[in-house]
Each structure stands twice: as C-alpha cells, then as structure tokens.
Amino acid sequence: MLRYIYGHDLHNHACLAHSMFRDRADQFRTRLGWEVQVDRKGEERDQYDQLDPLYVIWEMPDGSHGGSMRFLPTTGPVMVNDVFLDLAGGVPICSPLIWECTRFCLSRNADGNAAGALTLGGVEIMRNFSIAHFAGVFDRRMVRIYRSLGFSPEIIGTQGEGRERVCLGLWEYTPEVYQAVASKAGIAPELSQLWFDRSFGAAGAAAPMALTG
C-alpha cells in the first residue's frame, strides 16, 4: 500500500523510515556510485530531508520499504535551484504550483507494483493538492522508465553526454494522465484515493500550507 508521510511524522513509522533511508544508501551509493552521505546506521540522508518534505512510500506486506519519492515545494530550497540551476538556463523555478520530486528509490526486494504505485502516488498529490507541475532532475536511464509508467516529462534542459547525461524535466497534471498512470499501475483510482485519505483524512486539503507558508 501507499503511505504519505511528512518528515516530522517519520518517527511514528520508525522501521519503515529506517528501511527507506537504508535502501536509498544501497541504490544511490552502492548501485549507482553517487557521492552521497551515509551515516553509521547505513542511512542515506541529505539537507533536504531536514526540510520536512512529503514522502510517498510503497510499503511491502511485511511493513518494510518497497520504494519511495520525496517532494518539496519550489517556494523553498530545492535541488533544481540549488544544484542544477544551469539546467533551467539560470532561472530559478519558484511557484506554489510546482513541487520538486527527488530520490526516486526502489528496494532490491520491491514487488512489481512499486514503481507504478509510486508514480500514481505522485499524481495523486497533484490531483488532491492542485499542483500543476512536478520538476525533477533525472539521468538517461529513467526516460524509458517514465514512458513505461505513462508519465513522461517535458525535458527543459540537459547536461553531459552519454551515461553522464542528466535532464531537467517538468511533469504536468491532467485528469487524462491520472487515468493513464492508474491503468499502467493496475491500481483502481478509488483504491489510490483511499490510501491518500487514510494518510491525510479530512485535513488533507490544507496540508500543503505548512510547506509553502
């Protein structure tokens, strides 16, 4: 199932959070060779994890992390402006209607639904919080994956060549995209909305104000 958890609530899901940060270390440092910081507990975290982001987490039947993404509004510090500004032509992306998506991570033990479910979770955020676009930086290998999930971005900037090439993309929300991603994921929209409501309840519509205020 999908869980939507703000950073300040991760302590209420300690085992799930630990396995998420541990799997991030495994994916980004061990498998991809990125220069990321891993602490004594084997967890990968950066400064953006300290900004109370919203995490979308695919929880496995045993309660462990199957996959996750991290979201922050571009009205505050985000990687696309702090690290990859050149990809946007030197013009910062800053709008309450644009959130940044980072740290797309899949566990080695993830089931076949994880990637599709996470993508649907991101679109569910857009639909319920009236977010028009996501912004994110990704490497070449992700282009095919996004296409297979029914949610390809508009590429607005690139840097590097070959395997080192990275892209800045914008993903746009439309009702048609939502239906297409749900179909690709094999998850009924009603079930996706139920998972969202279980995380946010009646107060869900007001939740982004804490991030964008």
Residue 207 falls inside a structural domain: no
CB 36 within 8 A of CB 46: yes
Domain that holds residue 7: 2-200
Q: What is the mean pLDDT of each run of 10 residues along the chain (213 residues)?
A: 97 97 96 92 97 97 96 97 95 97 94 93 97 93 86 91 86 96 96 96 51 41
Is 95 within the bounds of a domain? yes
211 domain-assigned: no
CATH, residue 150: 3.40.630.30
Please give the model's pTM, rounded to 2 decimal places: 0.91
d(CA 131, CA 129): 6
Distance CA 192, CA 60 (A): 16
pLDDT at 172: 97
In a domain, 209, yes or no: no
**For the chain, how many structural domains are there in total?**
1
Question: What pLDDT does 163 receive?
Answer: 72
